[in-house]
């Protein structure tokens, strides 16, 4: 994967002559090469250079195309970068202002010759629209996580703890080809299922709902899925809440398409939940972008005015959380299309019941 040309074209249409890519995630998006260090410059004229130390130089030189790889050796890296800016006529340099600390930003102002201008949205907007290659990776990340989930369901017994189940889920993802988990799995049962981001405890599974929120990291991209199952026979109210969350998700998926705003799509799910009498218990946004980061642009919330574009990959995760009692969340990941959406997730959504 290499997006240098795509970024260069976007820079050429901006007010800057080049962009300084400083975050690890955006360097990976640009070059397909993962490293914890490095200064990447991409010019609007098509030239690009990665200044990287000896730890990564050999592998980067072999792996990265369309980028000049430079090891600073004895010369300060910012002197080399300023030489590069003069060579390519860079007077205005876009930076990732959203991921730089104040100290880092002011430090760059004192070391680099060009004027620094905001450039965060250049990369944000490009990353929001996934290519076919990225989509294939995201689908495989989903499949790994789904197979791991199905294998983990077989391990549910009255004697297993939330922590043990979370560990088994992570282990299964790694065995099935994930390079890591996307995030620490949320595996919570009983009354703690009412906490959207509860942490697994060293207690045996409690009767009520069991919420499992999990994801696999594969080739640098994340998956994200939530399923809620019942431990013991569900009450009529539990079944009503589960059915309401499922209806809210299905209606939102049906409404998802290019041109819809995040606020509008969030409102579709929120109205279903409010009409069922649980409006105050849907306490988070409907959606967030999924890609190299588990949470990225765009998002769908009551305040989101962003317009969804074709190619964006987002979660669909309505929920109802009754404090101290139980909670339900159902989450798929979809890609926005011009006339609808494509659901990357391939897991059933009927309520599974254990130990009825």
pLDDT in tens, 189-224: 999 999 999 999 999 999 999 999 999 999 999 999
Is there a single domain that holds both residue 171 and residue 276? yes
pLDDT above 90 coverage of the chain, percent: 98
The answer, yes or no, to whether residue 356 has pLDDT greater than 90, is no
Q: Which residues pair with 95 in a beta bridge?
A: 20, 118
Is there a single domain that holds both residue 229 and residue 309? yes
Identify the CATH number of the domain in which residue 98 sits: 3.40.350.10
CB 312 within 8 A of CB 291: no
User: Kind and range of the H or E element at 274?
Assistant: helix 262-275
pLDDT of residue 112: 97
- The residue among 128, 159, 184 that closes a domain is 128
pLDDT of residue 73: 83
Residues 301-322: pLDDT tens digits? 999 999 999 999 999 999 999 9
Is there a single domain that holds both residue 123 and residue 176? no
Is there a single domain that holds both residue 175 and residue 246? yes
pLDDT of residue 1: 84
Is there a single domain that holds both residue 173 and residue 272? yes
Residues 55-108: pLDDT tens digits? 999 999 999 999 999 998 888 999 999 999 999 999 999 999 999 999 999 999
pLDDT of residue 101: 93
If you write DSSP's letter for every residue of 225-256 in order, what string do you get?
A: EEEEEEESPPPHHHHHHHHHHHHHHHHHHHH-
Rounded Cα gap, residues 112 and 14, in angstroms: 19
Identify the CATH number of the domain in which residue 153 sits: 3.90.230.10
- Compute CA 349 distance to the chain's CA centroid, rounded to the nearest angstrom: 22
Rounded Cα gap, residues 94 and 116, in angstroms: 6
Is there a single domain that holds both residue 163 and residue 271? yes
pLDDT of residue 236: 98
CA distances from 192 to 170, 187, 208, 213, 327 (A): 20, 9, 10, 13, 8
Residue 91 tokens read as: 């007077």
Is there a single domain that holds both residue 101 and residue 229? no
Of the candidates 224, 217, 219, the one whose C-alpha atom is nearest the C-alpha of residue 287 is 224
Q: What domain range is 94 assigned to?
A: 4-128
Average pLDDT over residues 275-281: 98
Domain count of the fold of the chain: 2
Residues 103-153: pLDDT tens digits? 999 999 999 999 999 999 999 999 999 999 999 999 999 999 999 999 999
- pTM greater than 0.75 (yes/no): yes
Is there a single domain that holds both residue 66 and residue 192? no
Q: Per-residue confidence at 243, pLDDT binned at 50, 70, 90?
A: very high
User: Beta-carbon neighbour count of residue 192 at 10 Å?
Assistant: 23
Is there a single domain that holds both residue 123 and residue 164? no
313 DSSP 8-state letter: E
The answer, yes or no, to whether residue 18 has pLDDT greater than 90, is yes
- The residue among 87, 104, 128 that closes a domain is 128
Of the candidates 43, 8, 4, 21, the one whose C-alpha atom is nearest the C-alpha of residue 120 is 21
Question: Helix crossing, 4-12 with 24-31: angle to 10°?
Answer: 110
Q: Where are the alpha helices (DSSP H) in the chain?
A: 4-12, 24-31, 54-63, 77-87, 102-111, 120-128, 132-153, 162-175, 236-255, 262-275
Is there a single domain that holds both residue 331 and residue 343? yes
Is there a single domain that holds both residue 139 and residue 288? yes
- The residue among 97, 128, 159 that closes a domain is 128
Rounded Cα gap, residues 123 and 25, in angstroms: 10
CB 153 within 8 A of CB 187: no
pLDDT of residue 351: 98
Rounded Cα gap, residues 309 and 41, in angstroms: 27
Half-sphere exposure of 242 (CA within 13 A, CB side): 22
Is there a single domain that holds both residue 76 and residue 190? no
What are the b/e assignments for 330-356, b being 16+ CB within 10 Å? bbbbbbbeeeebeebbeeeeebeeeee
């Amino acid at each position: 994967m290499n997006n240098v040309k795509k970024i260069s074209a976007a820079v050429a249409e901006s007010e800057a002559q080049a962009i300084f890519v400083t975050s690890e995630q955006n360097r990976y998006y640009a070059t397909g090469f993962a490293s914890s260090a490095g200064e990447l410059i991409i010019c609007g004229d098509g030239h690009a250079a990665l200044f990287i130390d000896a730890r990564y130089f050999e592998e980067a030189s072999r792996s990265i195309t369309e980028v000049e790889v430079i090891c600073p050796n004895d010369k300060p890296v910012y002197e080399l970068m300023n030489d590069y800016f003069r060579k390519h006529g860079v007077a205005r340099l876009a930076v990732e202002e959203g991921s730089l600390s104040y100290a880092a930003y002011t430090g760059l102002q004192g070391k680099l010759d060009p004027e620094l201008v905001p450039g965060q949205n250049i990369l944000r907007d490009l990353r929001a629209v996934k290519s076919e290659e990225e989509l294939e990776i995201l689908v495989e990340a989903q499949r790994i996580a789904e197979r791991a989930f199905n294998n983990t369901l077989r391990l549910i017994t009255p004697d297993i703890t939330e922590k043990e189940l979370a560990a088994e889920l992570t282990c299964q993802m790694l065995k099935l080809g994930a390079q890591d988990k996307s995030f620490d799995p949320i595996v919570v049962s009983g009354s703690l299922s009412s906490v959207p981001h509860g942490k697994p405890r060293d207690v045996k599974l409690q009767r009520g709902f069991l919420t499992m929120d999990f994801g696999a990291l594969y080739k640098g991209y994340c998956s994200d899925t939530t399923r809620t199952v019942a431990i013991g026979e569900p009450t009529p109210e539990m079944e009503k809440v589960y059915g309401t969350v499922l209806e809210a998700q299905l209606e939102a998926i049906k409404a998802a398409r290019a041109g819809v705003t995040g606020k509008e799509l969030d409102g579709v799910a929120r109205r279903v939940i409010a009409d069922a009498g649980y409006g105050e218990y849907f306490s988070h946004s409907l959606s967030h972008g999924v890609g190299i980061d588990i949470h990225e642009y765009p998002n769908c919330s009551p305040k989101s005015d962003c317009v969804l574009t074709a190619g964006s990959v987002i979660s669909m995760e309505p929920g109802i959380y009754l404090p101290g009692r139980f909670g339900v969340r159902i989450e798929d990941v979809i890609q926005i299309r011009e006339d609808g959406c494509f659901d990357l997730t391939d897991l059933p959504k009927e309520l599974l019941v254990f130990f009825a």
